[in-house]
Amino acid sequence: MVKRTAKAVIGANYGDEGKGLMTDYHAARAGREGIVVRFNGGAQAGHTVTAPDGRRHVFSHFGSGTLAGAATYLSRQVVCHPALFLKEAAQLQAAGLAALPPVFVDERAPVSTLYDILLNQALERHRGQARHGSCGMGFGETVERQLDPGFALTVADLRQGAGYLLHRLAAIRDHWVPRRLAALGIAALDAQSAQWLASDGALQSFVHAAMRFRRMTEPARPAVLMDYAGAVFEGAQGLLLDQDRGAFPYVTRSHTGIRNALEVAGEAGFEGLDVTYVTRAYLTRHGAGPLAGELPGKPYPGIEDRTNVPNEFQGTLRFAHLDLDLLVRTIRADFDDALPCPGIDATLNLAVTCLDQAGPALSYVEDGALRTAAPDALAAHLAARLGAGTLYTAWGPTRETVRT
């Protein structure tokens, strides 16, 4: 009997490692017979995929295998945002995907609202120079609200209809928001935010979006993954932003490593998980928080990043050289979570992306010293230190540039 094995793609740093590229690479092997599983985070994900034909999209809700024809599964650990889902669907259709691949969603998944975004942005502005680096998309505030059963909202609730949803949203607006603002020490909202909060039109627009989201997705539990020839678990953010392992409070309220993927894979019935940890050839961080060895600018003139543009909440992209000792410790600590998982055999692989941007000599830190090596030699050395079963190296933005 053939053992059912899935792929998993995990960011090894602070995000922006190339998870979209590697998810697209793995998903393309199965094409329309494949499915991509989102198992953490929400619409704040920004995974860039450039198809071989030149089409480019930054994925947030849809799995990064969509351009390759793969379906998407949003697990119970993913925060769904109906309005942003619809916005992304329209962008994909405008890019030529008239018929989108199916999107399945676990009805236990939380739903983010316009009020979570309002609270998130108000809080980050209130912090001033002590910001935490939030994307301003409402993810953390949704997680906080879900802790109170009186104000929790899930995809299953959307199936109750527009009237029920209007009632739930009104309760969140009229009772949860004032309570939360008081708890955060925010005495008053700015005029624009206050107008948004009071707007019945904004509330009704959200309800309309939620009903469309309900119609465009199919409710399913993890067993649906077995209907597909290949499954790729796509992580969001990176290991150094994990809520338990990152430098608090500059973290995301999510498990960014293999933990959630193992839970969903086990529930689906998989017996193996091939885990690919992804890192760029250099280190980046977008948003506030510590970055050891931060450089004053780009470490290599060939670096180009069209996705991580400067914005109000995360500022500009920051850079450092890879610290191999930190990277190995971080990956091994996360992978060790997989070892005691009953019924699932896990294998560790490594992907190093953006090697084409580094030039002939790549700088890195090891044993506290700054060293240099040819890009392919550095990737092989890192893979050897990790004991990686497979090494993937990416020499451009498309799946065709990935070497095994």
Helices and strands, counts by H and E, the chain: 12, 17
16 a catalytic residue: yes
Q: Which residues in 60-105 belong to E strands, given as ranges?
A: 71-74, 103-105
- 11, 254 contact by CB (below 8 A): no
Q: Map tokens 């690919």 to a residue.
A: 276
From 24, 26, 47, 323, the catalytic residue? 47
Number of other CB atoms surrounding residue 304 within 10 Å: 9
- How do strand 283-285 and strand 362-366 relate by DSSP bridges? unpaired
Kindly state the DSSP code that residue 383 receives in the 8-state scheme: H
Across the chain, which distance is largest between two alpha carbons, in Å? 64
From 16, 106, 116, 274, the catalytic residue? 16
242 a catalytic residue: no
- 319, 294 contact by CB (below 8 A): yes
Phi, psi for residue 90 in degrees, rounded to 5: -65, -40
Q: Map tokens 């990956």 to a residue.
A: 331
Known catalytic residues are 16, 47
